[in-house]
């Protein structure tokens, strides 16, 4: 397995990477939510649902050409 030639640009500019980071933060928030019992009134599964949407968005954005990453193939 080898990295793609423009991996640094992809890491900095790709929306798929950004959305996967958001999904990771939301997943962590879902795990930490029971520790905040009574402090926040957030419906159960809200962070999980938002994490799913972020992951789905990352999937779609990975298939879309992004000018800052694809080199103008948009």
CB-CB contact of 66 with 74 (8 Å):
yes
Global pTM exceeds 0.75: yes
pLDDT in tens, 29-71: 888 888 877 777 888 889 899 999 999 999 999 888 777 776 6
Exposure string of 20-57, with b = 16+ CB inside 10 Å and e = fewer, is: bebbeebbebbeebeeeeeeeeeeeeebeebbeebbeb
CB-CB contact of 66 with 12 (8 Å):
no
């Amino acid at each position: 397995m080898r990295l793609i030639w423009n991996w640094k640009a992809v890491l900095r500019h790709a929306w798929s990477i950004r959305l996967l980071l958001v999904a990771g933060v939301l997943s962590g928030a879902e795990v930490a939510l029971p520790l905040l019992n009574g402090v926040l009134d957030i419906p159960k599964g809200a962070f999980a649902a938002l994490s799913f949407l972020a992951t789905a968005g990352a999937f779609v954005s990975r298939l879309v050409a992004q000018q800052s990453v694809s080199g103008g193939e948009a």
